[in-house]
Amino acid sequence: MKKIIIENLKTLLYAIIIAVIIRSLFVQPFYIPSSSMEPNLLIGDRIFVTKYSYGYSKHSFPFSPPIINNRIFYKEPRRGDLVVFKTPADNRTDYIKRLIGMPGDQIQFINGEIFLNNNRILKKPIKTENKIRCGSNDYPTKSYQETLPNGVKYIAVYKSVGTLLNTDKYIVPKNHFFFLGDNRDCSKDSRYLSSVGYVKRINIVGKAKYIFFSNDTIKGSVFKFWNWNNSMRLDRFFKKIK
């Protein structure tokens, strides 16, 4: 009996070690709890994030142990990537946002337009009107296809009334990045210097790659299997993230 218990404990230990290695070095699942990335990522989406895309830091590992002082095997993120990072405020909370500003870039909102290094980011209106979630409320928005200087395209939404028009100029420090949420008027991101601000290179966790599961939490819990036909977003299963 004692031998069986020991063998079972060994098996459990090996399984935990393998899981930690996979989670730290290869792929980690994340849950989307807020609407800051709508319409591209929805509340209830579960995504796979690749840890190897930008190399590794202490934040690649559970509980961020101080075993690496900087990044190793570093690969520069690409402008427009959807990136998971630890917030500078506590170096613990995971956020996912779109990378807009690279080190040395200047970003500013002027009359509702985004200027990157004094050049306006191309913004093409999309005719469909959407209601986008923000907290417990929905509000009407205008949708645009934005195109970054490197050709990356994505959908961003702005409030139809009361959208953010003007900001100060943001200058991204060396070894830092500037992130925005695609739901521009319902996102705590690099515009808010006291809570998020510029994100250090070491704080990057990984790149969002795929949605592997999605359940609309407003329409029903995933545990209420009798309501799956209303809550499950089957069209989002195994969807590549852009």
Q: Are strands 113-116 and 106-110 parallel, antiparallel or unpaired?
A: antiparallel
Q: Select which of 34, 35, 36, 214 is catalytic.
A: 36
**Beta-strand (E) ranges in the chain?**
27-31, 45-50, 82-86, 94-101, 106-110, 113-116, 119-120, 122-134, 137-147, 153-159, 170-171, 176-180, 199-200, 204-214, 239-240
Across the chain, which has 242 residues, the per-10-residue mean pLDDT values are 76 80 88 95 96 96 90 96 96 96 98 96 86 84 96 95 92 98 96 94 97 88 78 93 87
pLDDT at 129: 66
pLDDT at 13: 83
The answer to whether 150 touches 78, Cβ cutoff 8 Å, is yes
pTM of the model: 0.91
Task: Specify the fold of 30-240.
Answer: Umud Fragment, subunit A (2.10.109)
Q: Select which of 51, 97, 142, 207 is catalytic.
A: 97
Model confidence pLDDT, tens digit, residues 84-125: 999 999 999 999 999 999 999 999 999 999 999 999 999 999
Residues near 113 by beta carbon (within 8 Å), at least 6 away in sequence: 120, 121, 123
pLDDT at 96: 98
pLDDT at 10: 80
Does 60 participate in catalysis according to the annotation?
no
Q: Per-domain residue ranges for the chain?
A: 30-240
Residue 183: which of 32, 55, 2, 27 has the closest Cα?
Answer: 32
pLDDT at 24: 81
pLDDT at 181: 97
From the number of C-beta atoms within 10 Å of its C-beta (0-12, 13-18, 19+), residue 225 rates as exposed
pLDDT at 77: 97
Does 36 participate in catalysis according to the annotation?
yes
